[in-house]
Every structure is written in structure tokens, then in C-alpha cells.
Structure 1
Amino acid sequence: MLIYHPAFDIYHGAFRALLLLENSPGRSMPADTLRIVDLYLMFPYLLADLEFPKGAGKEGRRLAGTMSRFNRLPSPRIFLSQTRALHVLVTSALAGKNLISADALAEGDVSRTDQPVPGDLLSRADERDLELATYLGSRIATIPLLGKKGLKERSKLMEFRYDPA
């Protein structure tokens, strides 16, 4: 049986990545940060398990009450690991269209170029997705990925104990 799930759709992934990048300061973030905030965009209820930085918790807790339009995950950490290849495909496709910098991607960062997003693609995001992407891009994606109280440690979605401090 074939079942469609947007989490495994490269085109939906490219849309989500562009939506998050367009709503983050500097329109750039580390690739692993993009993977984490993309997971929160698809499954906002997982925000309830995030250790919020000071000042970001009230809105984050409110958004965490938003049910996912997709399925619930038995293990978000395993799901994030399993979708690594999809994120590589998404970022490679965006780099191929010159929507993100191939040079930055080679260094592990996802950074928007000045190439405009085709047509009215991002205007297709509904209000709920836009609100969530704005919060994730501006408040969560700006948390340093590594180190004490970095995004990997706060989210507990990736191994962080052996990261450089």
C-alpha cells in the first residue's frame, strides 16, 4: 500500500525549507538546525518537549498546543535520523536551483541567495504555517546549534554530549 506523507515529499520539504529560511534573520541557519526546526514545523506538538530559551517559552508553549496535520511520531529522534537523506535531497535541489548557496551548503550551512523564490510559492502557506515558521525561524533557529544549552541539547533530538563546547 502506498501512503503519501508530506514529511517524505522532496517538494513539500523544499517549500518548508524556503518558508523557514525566509522567516529567519539573515535567511541562513546550520543544516542540522534546519532539520530540527523543520520537524517542529511539521509536528508542532513536539515543541512541548523543547527547553525554551528565556523569552521564547510563552509563544512556544502556545504553539506547542497546535496539533499536527500529519501523524504523531512514536520517536521524534529516530524520525529525524531517518529523514536525514531527505534533507540532503531538499538542500541539494535548492542549491541546484540557486535558491540556497552551494558553497555555504558544503560548509554545513543553509543560506538563501538573492535568487527570488519562484512565483507566489510562499504565499501558498496558510496562516498557521506562516505563524509557526516565523516563530521557528526567528526564535528557535537562532539558538546556537552546539554547546551548553545549544539547540541539540535543548531539543534532545540529536546527540550533543560529544559536541565541542
Structure 2
Amino acid sequence: MMYIPAFDPFAACYRMLRILEHMGCAGPVEVDRLRMFDYYLAFPARVYAIHLRRDESGFRNLRRRYVPRQANPYQAVVSDRRLFERMRPYQMAALRRLAACGVVSPDRLARGEVRVASQSRLSQLTCATGPLPVAGRNVIAWLCHCFRTTPLGGEYGLKYRTQLMEYKYDGQ
């Protein structure tokens, strides 16, 4: 028997708290974007599968510098899209738990967005859970720096770049 943090709703809560802490209160973030960031925090070596354009060499250099390329041999990923979909119930349970704790707005969550409802509650929980390792902080920082404002859908959107979700039928 093997423990896989990707399929643990409590580990997903921890990762979501850390992502929300890094994003701050800049505004609402789409649930799908948060789920993608969580996926890459759980499997950091998979950020090398994200498609970058030729003119984004700065992003590529930052990724090479701050995100380790070696994958955990016990967490072999056969299909990113399948694994991402298998994580969905655990990620959504984590978000519902954060809404029940008062960290995120339940109304926004029902609309497919996540917004921090109580910054003090978020700070309280992140202090209680302990710090994220440096490698995890680097992954979150890289994702937020490169893809916080990238649209989800459309050509060169986050769905297209990651191939984690269907993107062909998104509206432009």
C-alpha cells in the first residue's frame, strides 16, 4: 500500500491554502486554474510538460532555474489528463472544506470561482499547518508569475498549454 498525497483531501487543503496564500487577495481565481496549480504542486516535475511559446524564454529560464526536473520514481504519471481528473473529487472536497471553514466564499465557489473570504482565517490556518518546502514555494511562484493572468480558454490559453482539460470547444 502506498500513500499518494494527490488523492488525499487534507493534503489538497494544505496545497490550496498555500496557493491562495501566495496569490493573496488580488481577486477571484477560477476553480479550474486553482486545480491546475494544485496539480503541478502535487507533481512539480510535470511543469516541464507545459507548452511555452518561443518568445517566452524568460519563463523557460525561470522554470529551469527554480523547478527541479527530476520526478519522484514512485509517482510515475502515465496520463496527465486522467490523473488530473482523478484528483478532481479530492480537490473539490478540499475547496468545500475551505469554504466551510470560512477561508473562501461559498457563494463564489458555487459559481466556479475562488475568492478569499477571510484573510485572517487564511493566515491562521497557514500558520497552524507549517511552512511549505522551498521547492513547493518555487513551483507556486513560477506558476503565478507565468500564468496568473493567462486566459484559461482559447488559443494558447492555460487549458491548451497544459493539456489537462478540453480546450477545443471553449468560447473565445
**Same fold? TM cut 0.5:** yes
Equivalences for residues 100-115 of structure 1 within 5 A: 100-114=104-118, 115=120
Query: Equivalent residue for 1:155?
Result: 162
Query: Equivalent residue for 2:96?
Result: 92
TM-score (norm 2): 0.84
CA distance in 2, matches of 1:34, 1:126: 19
Alpha-carbon distance, 1:64 to partner: 4.7
- The answer as to whether partners of 2:102 and 2:121 remain within 8 angstroms in 1 is no
CA distance in 1, matches of 2:23, 2:13: 16
User: Out of 79, 90, 99, which is 2:83 matched to?
Assistant: 79
CA distance in 1, matches of 2:43, 2:97: 23
**1:14 equivalenced with 2:13 (yes/no):** yes
Aligned-residue CA RMSD (Å): 2.0
Runs (4+) off by over 3 Å: 61-66
Alpha-carbon distance, 1:122 to partner: 5.5
1:68-93 C-alpha deviation (Å, 9 max, x unpaired): 45612111110001111111101100
Alpha-carbon distance, 1:52 to partner: 2.8
1:50-108 C-alpha deviation (Å, 9 max, x unpaired): 12363422212334533345612111110001111111101100000011111111111
Identity of aligned residues (%): 27
* 5+ long unaligned stretches in structure 1: none
Which has the larger displacement, 32-41 or 47-56? 47-56
CA distance in 2, matches of 1:92, 1:62: 35
Matched to 1:23, the amino acid is H
TM-score (norm 1): 0.88
CA distance in 2, matches of 1:58, 1:122: 31
- The answer as to whether partners of 1:41 and 1:129 remain within 8 angstroms in 2 is yes
Equivalences for residues 1-165 of structure 1 within 5 A: 2-24=1-23, 26=26, 28-52=28-52, 54=56, 55-69=58-72, 71-114=75-118, 115-117=120-122, 118-119=124-125, 120-121=127-128, 123-165=130-172
- The answer as to whether partners of 1:30 and 1:108 remain within 8 angstroms in 2 is yes
Matched to 2:59, the amino acid is A
